[in-house]
Structure 1
């Protein structure tokens, strides 16, 4: 009897010690830079999933960039904004490993500095990266080459603080400039050739690096990666793509430009598209579209965009427009789409299918690469 009581006592003592130690380490973690976001003051870090960056929380709020969303003109393809930012983060991962570096929204180029850089060069704006206005309104005019820029900062821990260890800056170059000959007049379109775009980007790259290194808090020897992006024309269903990158290790010098093999393909492909890229995927998508149209004739159409890297599709986004209003019809159609998608759409790429009317989304189907089935969400 005595031994049994003694054993239970040690068990309770052990449990008490575990609780005390647990509380001790919990409060120690709250007082330092770490993954907790419960503290209201100071800098904390979010938890990161596999292959993702930890991000910065300051005084209980996500640290945003004051210059995010600034553009040289109001026109542009709205599909590009999200693709530009997410694609830039993928570029960054090849330079700054997710397990070592912490991601922070751009904090060193202010909105005023970014607006100045995106403007035309003039007597009042010597920092403008776009060329001076030559006053022409025909094909000989100087176009707006640079539509937007995005800064991403990569930090490392320095004791209880964070230190800037590198930067990635995306530069979105226009493939088409939209302008008016008179205020509030008709829109005119000036195409920018691939050669013009690439050459102008290389020309202004050292100026961008110089301006960044002039900002307070940016060390002279941190690596700065410039990633060049080609905006899609305004009427394109697909977004643009990154096409080259270079790194400045110090001063304004840059390494040799390295091509980035990215492309966006719109499905179904037009007969005038002579490229073989996406031909197999186009056949599969056409069969998918015909199959669901034959089974449910009330669909108004289906389109898709595919992202390719190094000639391999990495993701596909499909939009199916319907005229269904009955919930049972929508559910039956969604179930059929999910089975047809498994049969006809790529299995080695991430696929997202949106089923919608002209006014509202009805269902969302998502499958990660190599998954066996789609995850379905009814709206």
Structure 2
């Protein structure tokens, strides 16, 4: 099989990527007007893919950077709450027309006040729990919202970059964790889908009302997505289940459902919902474990939209002692990948060790052979 090499730089950012290539036209300098100042920024000339937003340079970090780590329970939700919001934003802000910038309007201290309980700050979006025990809090006043992520979308008019729209993702608890006594055992209280939906929509309306009072956000369209977090011990992320749009200067309109889910392979859930795919994955897993049975495990995560597989990501943790062994294992993986997965599937395999990433194999839908990259070789 012919081996192809995938440039690592293409994988640094999942949805927001900028760059340049030889013989490209010159990047464009424009003026960005902010509330504080007007400054010169650069728009990269190259858009690598129609699904990628170009970003203004120099890159501006979010005004609330760092909160996602402390507010969300798993690394999987931390990633998906942002990437899922990109997908929603693409339906309202086309990457062909708009550019991306991390959120600049919702400051860290503002969000901390909003995410608190009413009894802690007057701006708190979560219910007051004063006088209640841990179990009473879980039943009557659980914490509903844990994080708010903001994304800004800009357009260029008369050589000036200006804010054209904002997307915000509201991360909502699916399980409320509590203790009955200080330093006691941790208990779980599951929130119903109806609880999550009703309180998410209520909070979203209040968030939009507050954002309209922030200088610069009075008239721009605001997209709000509702994200249902997964449990603390989950190894797949939660998903957005609906979104609404507040038009220029307006309030939120009708909510639009989103049918997305992440399924672990192999699993009883995968066997129940996607039996054929679970069998295909199990056969691949068997082949891999026969090759290196002593210290290899294979875990897959399928991303589904409208019950159709969009991408299957496979993680294989390994412990190798030499480059030749790694190369041989990667070659075997490429063969098993071709033999087990149909050409119509979008599959990515990540081989990792304690030292970090070791190899990457990517087979896009419609391709029989995988792109292969072995790191540091």
Q: Structure 1-normalised TM-score?
A: 0.82
CA contact 1:72–1:118 (8 Å) conserved in 2: no
State the 1:50 CA deviation. 2.4
Residues 181 and 373 (structure 1 numbering): CA distance in 2 closer, same or farther, change over 3 Å? same
State the 1:359 CA deviation. 5.4
CA distance in 1, matches of 2:289, 2:236: 23
| 1:281 and 2:280 aligned | no
CA distance in 2, matches of 1:149, 1:178: 20
Residue by residue, what CA displacement relative to the aligned partner does 1:316-344 show, whole Å, maximum 9, x if unpaired? 11112334323222211111111111222
Residues 131 and 250 (structure 1 numbering): CA distance in 2 closer, same or farther, change over 3 Å? farther
Residues 191 and 296 (structure 1 numbering): CA distance in 2 closer, same or farther, change over 3 Å? same
CA distance in 2, matches of 1:74, 1:149: 9
CA contact 2:264–2:270 (8 Å) conserved in 1: no
State the 1:358 CA deviation. 5.0
State the 1:368 CA deviation. 2.3
| 1:350 and 2:349 aligned | no
Q: How does 1:1-379 map to 2 (within 5 A)?
A: 32=30, 42-46=40-44, 47-51=46-50, 52-57=52-57, 61-71=58-68, 74=71, 76-122=73-119, 125-134=121-130, 135-138=132-135, 139-181=138-180, 186-220=185-219, 222-250=220-248, 253-270=251-268, 273=269, 276-345=272-341, 347-357=343-353, 360-379=356-375
Per the alignment, in what secondary structure is the counterpart of residue 44 of structure 1?
Answer: strand
Range that drifts further, 244-253 or 81-90: 244-253
Residues 107 and 349 (structure 1 numbering): CA distance in 2 closer, same or farther, change over 3 Å? farther
Higher RCO, Cα 8 Å, sep 6+: 2
Residues 53 and 73 (structure 1 numbering): CA distance in 2 closer, same or farther, change over 3 Å? closer
Residues 185 and 377 (structure 1 numbering): CA distance in 2 closer, same or farther, change over 3 Å? farther
Q: Structure 2-normalised TM-score?
A: 0.82
CA distance in 2, matches of 1:371, 1:210: 48
CA distance in 2, matches of 1:274, 1:250: 42
* Ranges in structure 1 where 5+ consecutive residues have no aligned partner: 1-24, 35-40
Q: Larger Cα Rg: Structure 1 or Structure 2? A: 1
State the 1:261 CA deviation. 0.6
CA distance in 1, matches of 2:64, 2:184: 29
CA distance in 2, matches of 1:346, 1:307: 17
State the 1:194 CA deviation. 1.5
TM-align CA RMSD: 2.5
State the 1:302 CA deviation. 0.9
CA contact 1:317–1:353 (8 Å) conserved in 2: yes
CA distance in 1, matches of 2:316, 2:29: 50
Residues 42 and 181 (structure 1 numbering): CA distance in 2 closer, same or farther, change over 3 Å? farther
* Ranges in structure 2 where 5+ consecutive residues have no aligned partner: 1-24, 33-38
CA distance in 2, matches of 1:198, 1:131: 16
